[in-house]
Structure 1
Amino acid sequence: MTDTKWRIGKSFAKYSKQASASLDPSRKSLVIGGRAAGAVSEDDARLIAERIEGASFDGESLVIGAASDSEEMLSAILALAAALLRDEGRIHRWRGELVDVQMPEGGPRIAVLERSAFRLLGLLTVAVHMNGVTPDGRIWTSQRSDTKDINPGKWDNLAAGMVAAGETPLDAMKREAAEEAGLAPEDYELVPETVFLTSRPTESGWMLERAYCYTARLRDGVTPHNVDGEVQAAELLDADAMAELIARDKVTSEASLAALHWLAAKTGKTLPEGFYQAFV
């Protein structure tokens, strides 16, 4: 148990530091409807301003629309910007999924936008993660399909994903549980666990994401099974084995942070305050 607590502490220090990066100063402010919402590369800012009506760039801020514009108008301008980025080869995989555009601190949506444009524009996304645990205290981990664009073949939480436009985190968690783990609501008791914020560079831009983490207490005899083809394997591990898997860098960054919160509570490991926030 001493080794497990040490691994939990060391992994938390590593992944919480990665998730708390300072914004790249070369990125320019993205202002949508009169409010600072994201951060974009200068090249993309100039491209959008030159080609999209309703967008302008003054060298410091890419401005989309005006404060008086409706959600529909802002969404329309952003849709044109996303399509331009796709056509210019800046977006490599168009998802065809809409996500709510919010301020970095959250709050009501101001527009909707194609999911694949969010990292390029440094906009906030909201995600959900499920720690699926059994009555005997073990935890399920799922291996991402080798065909996934991001982190193929890495291990993940039992279910996880992005909150779609118009969804609440709870709605999204139940949907992901059904799609990725084949779980019906009666298969588990869902308990809100914690929330954390990730801010870090990615290959496609800048990731700003608020993660809502849940513990799913699975009913006795329930065995998860993937439905959507995004998971290629699943394993049931005790706390020691899960902590070791994370320490070996076999688990995605955000899934590691979600699992580490549960592991710390399970093993009695005290983690530094400030990173994990209360679920609201």
Structure 2
Amino acid sequence: MDSTSTAFALDDLIVRSARLVRRAQQLPPAGARPVTIAGRVGGWIAPTPLAAVRALPGVDVENEAVHFRAAVAKRLGLDAVLQSVAQALQLAGCIRAWRDELIDVVAEGRVLARIERGAVRPLGLLTQAVHLNGWAPDGRLWVARRALNKSTDPGLWDTLSGGLVAAGEDPDTALLRESHEEAGLPAVALAAHDPLRTVLRMRRRLDDGYQVENVLLSDCVLDAGAVPKNLDGEVLEFRCVDLSELWDMILHGAFTLEAELCILDSLRRRLQGVSGSVSS
């Protein structure tokens, strides 16, 4: 891609990506204990959320770990125990925003239960996020600015669409759903999208807990003349930028950490001509 080389070189992408990966790999919060779900290791809980849930049925607190399991004596299954945990976290102010959305609880590679989305960070549970880099046929990239009322990273720039995989949902379905909700793209517009790939597993200390998240990414070349349109109120504006403008935005920290990592990954693949990428 000749237009790419005028803005940056492969070494620039590698150096910047390495710096971002270090930011995305942090130890759990101070004083956090490992969490097990039905006997399987699956999260981290800091002292404040632990204080909110430690007396609940199905919660067993030990010095080295905190265990969540079905409360047989109370006739509470694991889902019911985790629902009460989420409600206690909400009452204690540990949940930034209650979403009324369920996320699969995964531990040691197995889906064990479901829990309110707002509770995953306070418990340090693993989530999956899908992202789409939508390219114009002329090599420009569509980017989306997050709404100012978003609970995380308001007003920063993002990939064209992205979001968490919901309970019982596979990542490809989540990608199509998010691309429709956030960018108004029908499934047919993504028919030729690249297979989702894992960019990295993020581990970050956030204000509302510990983010442990697989970041999955797909690239797609949109039809000429396609213009994204937000449908769920989560995007303030869209912009289709050439690579020089894109690189300038990156250097000025305009993107969320996840979005920049995804964009750098796509740019690297396009520069290297990776087989299966949209530039091959």
TM, length-normalised to structure 1: 0.88
8 Å CA contact retained: 1:55, 1:62: yes
Match of 1:93 among 92, 97, 101: 97
Amino acid in structure 2 at the alignment position of 1:135:
P
Q: How much does 1:194 deviate?
A: 2.5
Partner of 2:194 in structure 1?
A: 191
3-state SS in 1 of match to 2:98? coil
8 Å CA contact retained: 2:57, 2:71: no
Per-residue displacement from partner, 1:206-262 (whole Å, max 9, x unpaired)? Answer: 100001100122122211111111101111112232222122111000011111111
C-alpha distance in 2, partners of 1:246/1:254? 12
C-alpha distance in 2, partners of 1:10/1:3? 15
| 1:154-233 alignment, distance < 5 Å | 154-188=156-190, 189-195=192-198, 196-233=200-237
| 1:36-47 alignment, distance < 5 Å | 36-47=41-52
The answer as to 2:69 corresponding to 1:65 is yes
8 Å CA contact retained: 1:11, 1:246: no
Per-residue displacement from partner, 1:173-226 (whole Å, max 9, x unpaired)? Answer: 000010011001222321125202101111111100001100122122211111
C-alpha distance in 2, partners of 1:68/1:112? 18
> Would the alpha carbon gap of residues 243 and 269 (structure 1) be closer, same or farther in structure 2, given more than 3 Å must change?
farther
Amino acid in structure 1 at the alignment position of 2:128:
V
8 Å CA contact retained: 2:52, 2:92: no
Match of 1:267 among 262, 268, 271: 271
Match of 2:36 among 31, 35, 40: 31
C-alpha distance in 2, partners of 1:207/1:269? 32
> Would the alpha carbon gap of residues 67 and 139 (structure 1) be closer, same or farther in structure 2, given more than 3 Å must change?
farther
Q: How much does 1:10 deviate?
A: 3.6
The answer as to 2:58 corresponding to 1:80 is no
TM, length-normalised to structure 2: 0.88
In the alignment of these two chains, the number of paired residues is 265
C-alpha distance in 1, partners of 2:201/2:143? 22
8 Å CA contact retained: 1:243, 1:263: no
8 Å CA contact retained: 1:32, 1:66: no
- Alpha-carbon RMSD across the aligned residues, in angstroms, is 2.1
Q: Which runs of 5+ in 1 are unaligned?
A: 271-280
Per-residue displacement from partner, 1:54-93 (whole Å, max 9, x unpaired)? Answer: 1111222111116999xx8111101101100101111131
